[in-house]
Amino acid sequence: MERLVVIGNGMAGVACVEQLLKHGPKFSISILGDETHPNYNRVLLSSVLAGQKDADEITLNPVAWYAGHDIDLRLGARATQLDRAARTVTCEDGRRLEYERLILATGSAPVLPPLTGLNLQGVFVFRTLDDTRALIAAAGAGVRAVVIGGGLLGLEAARGLQLRGCDVTVVHLPDTLMNLQLDAVGGRYLQRHIERLGVRVCVNRCARAVLGDGAVEGVEFADGSTLPANLVVIAAGVRPNVVLAREAGLEVRRGVVVDDQLGTSDPAIYAVGECAEHRGVVHGLVAPLLEQAKVLAAVLAGHRDERYRGSIPAAQLKVMGVEVFSAGEINEGDGLDCVRYEDAGLGVYKKLLLRDGKLAGVALVGDTADSQRYAAWLRGGADLTARRSSLLFPAPAPDGGLDVAQLPAAEVVCGCLGVTKGDLIAAIHAGGINTLAQLKDRTRAATGCGSCAGVCERLLRAVAPDFVEAGPSPICACLPFTQEQLREMIRSQQLTSVQEVLEIYGQGEGCEVCKPALSYLVDLVWCGEHEEDRSARYINDRVHANIQRDGTFSVVPRIRGGVTSPAELRRIADVAEKYRVRMVKITGSQRIDLLGVAKEDLPKIWADLGMPSGQAYTKGVRMVKTCVGTDFCRFGTQDSTRAGIELERRLENLYTPHKVKMAAVGCPRNCAEATVKDIGLIGQEGGWQVVVGGAAGKTVRKADLLVTVATTEEALSAAELFFQYYRENANYLERAYDFIERVGIEKVRKQTVYAPAPARAALLERLRKAKALAKDAWLEREDPVHAAQFVQIQAMEVPQP
């Protein structure tokens, strides 16, 4: 076997090796990488910085992958010398490797502009995982960050730092942001979007020095003005790593010069990725590099006719809430027709450049929904003459299936990782793929910048037999994240209070929509060990009673299973008279409601009642309605009363995404209406049916059968599994019936009653833990969270009349 050495364990080098392995074993391969991590997805460092991904989630090839393919991986090994005559590479530590073929895949390094003070503590670059970790460690609430450079990288760094609580300013030398990808008008639209997110932007400013004594204190500009800072990120461009090649005498201009087969001026040496210069162009985005990697792999495998003919770069800004897409030419010029649309109010800017009836360039700011279509026209060189009057309108076909149906199978859907429509369909057919997550996992599509996720999802919808919708929508305007993302952020950033989440992700404010939802989420994620903040709770959850139209409250004590006693009824009657309750009402839930109670009377009423809270005011466990069952009913087959009381006991005092109403009935006559409850137990001869997702509110829905079991204990356990699964996975304010319609009962079954034993045990364990910490809220009558929780303030002095 031939000896192949790859210098650079990054995206292009490893992609080339991956492709090469597909052609069969022909080489014994060594990879040298000066970073200490196996190959990871550099593109996603922005997401790591922004807290949307964990560092270990972005690994592309774990160490086991190298071992599994007999690749000799040397991490932390920097190649320092290349001897072309002897065909050897020498590392920093003196080790020497022989090669027959050599691939240079050294990528590039950040350009450090001529500023003084770059050695101060607190000055960072943003290129590697280690850089990112250092940035994360230095970022935080109250840190003033200055990002030098307003290109793709600088803006992504700025937003990431801001999400971590920093006060961020971007300083950019040219007049407009992202000037390599957008014209001046587009750059100004982008600036407004960025500023609206709360990131300050200074354009046309030349930084001269980083100020400070040991650590960064500020940045000084050419005009003498200064800006205070404790953290500076240099994002002023990259420069190919070519020292090794130049010293070895290879032809180098900006990058290592390669031909259409990625060969350098030495026939045994190839170059690929950001360090290579092909037809005068050095690419700085992943898609072209992966195309190069494919061609080089084919060439090395002996396919002599493969040629790389260049790529049209397409750039996408990965900043949540700001959509920017740019590809091809940027500025108007001779022979170019310009088609433009802008709406300053909406912040939407679209520009197409055409040459000879074909698309030559596209820039989209504020709305990138059509980017795939334009990218395809650009790549395919489609003749647009006939469509000239409708290039920007109408929007893509409203029929979701149509636009994917129109894509040819060879069309690249995921530009980042080079996955075609044909690849995706083959993967879906090959093996039980029904969700976007599975498709990503299998094909890696949509795992780069993620912009093709929409197309992938439409494709799944059209092709997958049991497609499962992801359906994410942001929680509210002040917090532009889905609840799933928020759950993940709360977990990974270890945020234990609502205010912490808001400080970092929501400009510190929050609203009546996100605050209660976050209150639920932090409680859920930390299993009750969160920092409770009553200011983020709705009034009902501050005083544990239901506010009425006149500002008074209603009191519903817990009467488990609807079973009470004469003594209890007498006590309730006494309390109702003592506090002159305006109305005593039997509720639809087999309980008693005392209406019209003043806030300051609440603790006293609870004490006099001596009964626990019925949680009738909150998103939590309401009741288990029961029928009389075997004890009395001549039809009864199961002891529904006892089962219902036990279920209520096991779940009471817990909070849920939305209210949970349950019922247990002794036979299919269903007297307590279990089939229209969130969870129902239906007794039958020899066992129980457990049903979930019923509704009898605005809409009526018959519950789905979750499972049929033999014993009462199994029925209770199935109900608990579903209950906890709903708690953990439903969106706040999503009733069980909506949750089931969204997720599908099959999936619910698979993840609860049919889940592997350890998964079931884990669900129940988390339920137990939360339950152990859950208390009857009405006990706050003796131990209020705040002295003035229930009472009105008494003024210290009476106003003078």
Stretch that binds ligand HEM, among 158-166, 319-327, 377-385, 620-628 (CB under 6 A): 620-628
- One residue of 168, 244, 365, 623 binding ligand HEM per CB under 6 A: 623
Q: Judged by CB under 6 A, which of 661, 727, 749, 760 binds ligand HEM?
A: 661
Residue 90 contacts ligand SF4 per CB under 6 A: no
With CB under 5 to 8 Å by kind, the binding choice for 629 among ligand FAD, another protein, ligand SF4, none is ligand SF4
Q: How near is the Cβ of 536 to another protein at its closest, in Å?
A: 7
Q: How far is the CB of 595 from another protein (least distance, A)?
A: 16
542: partner contacted, choices ligand HEM, ligand FAD, another protein, none (Cβ within 5-8 A by kind): another protein
For residues 375 and 315, the answer to whether their CB atoms sit within 8 Å is no
One DSSP character per residue, 123-143 reads: EEE-SSHHHHHHHHHH--TT-
Q: What is the DSSP string of 323-356?
A: -EEEEE--S--TT-EEEEEEETTTTEEEEEEEET
Cβ(267)–Cβ(87) under 8 Å? no
Q: Which is nearer to ligand FAD, 319 or 654 (CB)?
A: 319
Taking CB under 6 A as the rule, which mask of x and - marks residues 625-644 in contact with ligand SF4?
Answer: --xxx---x-xx---x----
Residues numbered 59 to 98 that lie near ligand FAD (CB under 6 A) are 78-79
User: If you compute the radius of gyration of the chain from its CA atoms, what whole number of angstroms results?
Assistant: 32
Q: 3-state SS string over 51-90? A: CCCCHHHCECCCHHHHHHCCCEEEECCCEEEEECCCCEEE
Q: Provide the residue type at 23 as one letter.
A: H
- Which of 152, 248, 524, 665 touches ligand SF4 by CB under 6 A? 665
323 vs 593 by CB, closer to ligand HEM: 593
Whose Cβ is closer to another protein: residue 517's or residue 643's? 517
Contact between 622 and ligand HEM per CB under 6 A: yes
82-90 long-range contacts, Cβ below 8 Å, gap at least 24? 82/244, 82/245, 82/247, 82/248, 83/248, 84/248, 84/249, 84/250, 84/266, 84/268, 84/269, 87/268, 89/5, 89/7, 89/32
Strand partners, 771: none
Q: Pairing state of beta strands 88-91 and 96-98?
A: antiparallel
In this structure, what are the phi and psi dihedrals at residue 87, rounded to the nearest 5 degrees? 55, 55
- Assign residue 432 a region (left: φ > 0; alpha: ψ between -120 and 50; beta: otherwise): left
Backbone φ, ψ for residue 160 (5° rounding): -60, -45
Q: Considering only the stretches 178-186, 232-240, 660-668, 703-711, report the one whose residues sit in contact with ligand SF4 under the rule CB under 6 A.
A: 660-668
Exactly one of 226, 435, 496, 670 binds ligand SF4 (CB under 6 A); that residue is 670
The reply on whether position 557 binds ligand FAD by CB under 6 A is: no
DSSP structure class, residue 610: T
Closer residue to ligand SF4 in complex, CB, 88/670: 670
Q: What are phi and psi of 676, to 5 degrees?
A: -120, 30
549 binds, among ligand FAD, another protein, ligand SF4, none (CB under 5 to 8 A by kind): another protein
What angle (nearest 5°) sits at the alpha carbon of residue 208, between those of residues 205 and 212?
Answer: 120
Choose among another protein, ligand SF4, ligand FAD, none what residue 127 binds, the Cβ cut-off being 5 to 8 Å by kind. Answer: ligand FAD
Choosing among another protein, ligand HEM, ligand SF4, none, which partner's interface includes residue 799 (Cβ < 5 to 8 Å by kind)?
A: another protein
**What distance in Å separates the CA atoms of residue 190 and residue 185, rounded to the nearest whole number?**
9
Q: Is the peptide bond before 228 cis (omega within 30 degrees of 0)?
A: no
SS3 592: strand
Binding residues among 433-472 for ligand HEM as defined by CB under 6 A: none
Using rule CB under 6 A, residue 587 touches ligand HEM: yes
Q: Which residues bind another protein (CB under 8 A)?
A: 478, 509-512, 515-516, 533-539, 542, 547, 549, 551, 786-788, 792-801
Residue ranges in 237-256 that form contacts with ligand FAD under rule CB under 6 A: 241, 244
Q: How far is the CB of 662 from ligand HEM (least distance, A)?
A: 9
* 3-class secondary structure, 263: strand
Interface residue list for ligand HEM (CB under 6 A): 546, 554, 556, 587-589, 591, 593, 614, 616, 622-623, 625, 661, 696-698
Binding-site ranges for ligand FAD (CB under 6 A)? 7-13, 32-35, 42-43, 45-46, 78-79, 105-107, 126-127, 153, 156, 241, 244, 273-274, 284-287, 289, 318, 449
Per CB under 6 A, residues contacting ligand SF4 are 627-629, 633, 635-636, 640, 665-667, 669-671
